[in-house]
Amino acid sequence: MTTWEVCPSGATAAECALREDWCDFKVEQGSSWFYLPVDHSTENSDYTEQIATYASVVIGGFDGVLYAYQEVLGFGLGMSVARSAQVSNGLSPPSP
């Protein structure tokens, strides 16, 4: 098995197509770099992912409330007004 660039600079389209047909595997080099401490372990990554998940849930919930604050505020005020109207009319709340 050998490794070469599929379409090096200066190659014709026909040469690139021929090289691509001969390839069994394709590898793409990503541009990501990971800077990890010397004593890094997979356990550290697991904890980091758990914290990220919890933070995402909390921020998502907070974001949902902020997005729907008008509905939350309207419902809260509406229920308070309905409850006070019920009490002022002498109606007692339903018993459990």
Query: Which residues have CB under 8 Å from 6's CB, separation 6+?
Result: 16, 19, 20, 23, 26
- pTM to 2 decimals? 0.38
Distance of alpha carbon 69 from alpha carbon 82, whole angstroms:
20
Helix axes 42-67, 69-88, angle to 10 degrees: 60
Residues (pLDDT < 50) of the chain are none
- Encode pLDDT of 44-69 as tens digits: 888 989 999 999 999 998 888 888 88
Structure tokens at 69: 């604050």
Query: C-alpha distances in angstroms, 78 versus 3, 6, 94, 95?
Result: 70, 67, 18, 21
Please give the pLDDT value at position 31. Answer: 79
Distance of alpha carbon 48 from alpha carbon 42, whole angstroms:
10
